[in-house]
Amino acid sequence: MKLYAPSYYKKFKCIADKCEHSCCIGWEIDIDEVTLKKYEKLKNGYAPAIKESISLKETPHFKLCEGDRCPHLDEAGLCKIISNVGEDYLCDICREHPRFYNFTSVCEVGIGMSCTEAARIILSSPEYDSIEKIGKVDAIKTGASFDGRAERGKLYSILKEHSEPYDKRLDEIRKSYLIPSREDIYYLKIIDSLEYLDESHKTLFMNYSSNCRPEGKDEYLERFLAYFIYRHTTESFDSEDFSARLSFCLFCERLFASLICRTNAESLEDLSTLARIISEEIEYSEDNTASLTY
């Protein structure tokens, strides 16, 4: 199967110890079966440390240390598995993060905004509609009759019509895809019921308001929305599902706008941090995403 990616994808590289929000802290790290077998056979001097750090309860995973740190994250913010054994011994999650894949008639890969560096790249890249072939993957076409990629292309055409004000482009999208208009209280009730990695983010999200639109930030809101559309609408199985997923994307864009207003975010770094918070709290939780979509 052919593999495609946004043109900005090739800009991404993990910044490791320079990252201010390490993905090696705060997440349970599952170990895939292939990598687990490699660890079991490992005889390197660091092998005992790896084997002792693994919990085999339910899904095999690394036992987190104090502060929910991965046991193989050193004080400098570098991975001890890489430094002692090599990148070939990283489990799938560690090797792939923050990448995600969509499967239709082709495979598309992207980088997720739960990584601040990925968010920075996405928000600073105007060429989000440029999708390039980068290789092949061993996968089977889904055979779905609905073409989510084609519909996504139509959305991007509307978003890229910069001769029109951004708010009018959003209105056109809502009208074209029959997105229901809901009162803020509808979403605030859902926001209040979501599960959170950090409870302070719940307080932040409760500032949601569809009327909060920051000045001078339309280009970042557009790129934020385009990313959500790329990630969440592509695998839609019919037009109704596509509209539901698109409604979710538009909500997330309004939440992003609300948080920019609430925090007076100005710099790319501040905007990237807000995007990362929304991503890790909402789109990286299947339950939260479902609550806001269906």
- pLDDT tens-digit readout, 223-232: 999 999 999 9
> Which of 59, 77, 96 finishes a domain?
96
Residues 89 and 157 placed together within one structural domain of the fold = no
- Looking at the structure of the chain, the number of domains it has is 2
Q: What does the pLDDT look like over 35-69, one tens digit per residue?
A: 999 999 999 899 999 999 999 988 999 999 998 99
What value does the mean pLDDT take over residues 244-263?
98
Rounded alpha-carbon distances, angstroms, from residue 79 to 49, 72, 130: 13, 6, 33
Q: What does the pLDDT look like over 80-90, one tens digit per residue?
A: 999 999 999 99
pLDDT band, residue 127 (cuts 50/70/90): very high
Alpha helices in 127-217 (DSSP H): 148-159, 166-176, 184-193, 199-205
Residues 261 and 175 placed together within one structural domain of the fold = yes
Query: Can you tell me the distance from the alpha carbon of 233 to that of 77, in angstroms, rounded to the nearest whole number?
Result: 35
Residue 102 lies in a domain: no
**pLDDT score for 290:** 97
Q: What does the pLDDT look like over 106-124, one tens digit per residue?
A: 999 999 999 999 999 999 9
Residue 211 lies in a domain: yes
Strand, helix or coil for residue 37: helix
Residues 283 and 183 placed together within one structural domain of the fold = yes
Residue 9 lies in a domain: no
Residues 164 and 247 placed together within one structural domain of the fold = yes
Residue 121 lies in a domain: no
Tokens of 83: 């430094």
pLDDT value at 143 more than 80: no
Residues 86 and 175 placed together within one structural domain of the fold = no
pLDDT band, residue 16 (cuts 50/70/90): confident
pLDDT band, residue 77 (cuts 50/70/90): confident
Residue 169 lies in a domain: yes
> Which of 52, 73, 96 finishes a domain?
96
Percent of the chain with pLDDT over 70: 100
Q: Which residue has the higher pLDDT, 240 or 143?
A: 240
Residues 152 and 265 placed together within one structural domain of the fold = yes
> Which of 54, 76, 96 finishes a domain?
96
What value does the mean pLDDT take over residues 129-145?
87
Residue 12 lies in a domain: no
Residues 190 and 253 placed together within one structural domain of the fold = yes
Cβ burial 14-23 (10 Å sphere, 16+ → b, else e): eeeeeeebbb
Residues 167 and 275 placed together within one structural domain of the fold = yes
Range of the domain at 251: 148-293
pLDDT value at 287 more than 80: yes
Residues 193 and 281 placed together within one structural domain of the fold = yes
Residue 136 lies in a domain: no
Is the separation of the CB atoms in 13 and 118 below 8 Å? no
Residue 210 lies in a domain: yes
Residues 155 and 232 placed together within one structural domain of the fold = yes
pTM of this structure: 0.92
Residues 194 and 67 placed together within one structural domain of the fold = no
Residues 159 and 80 placed together within one structural domain of the fold = no
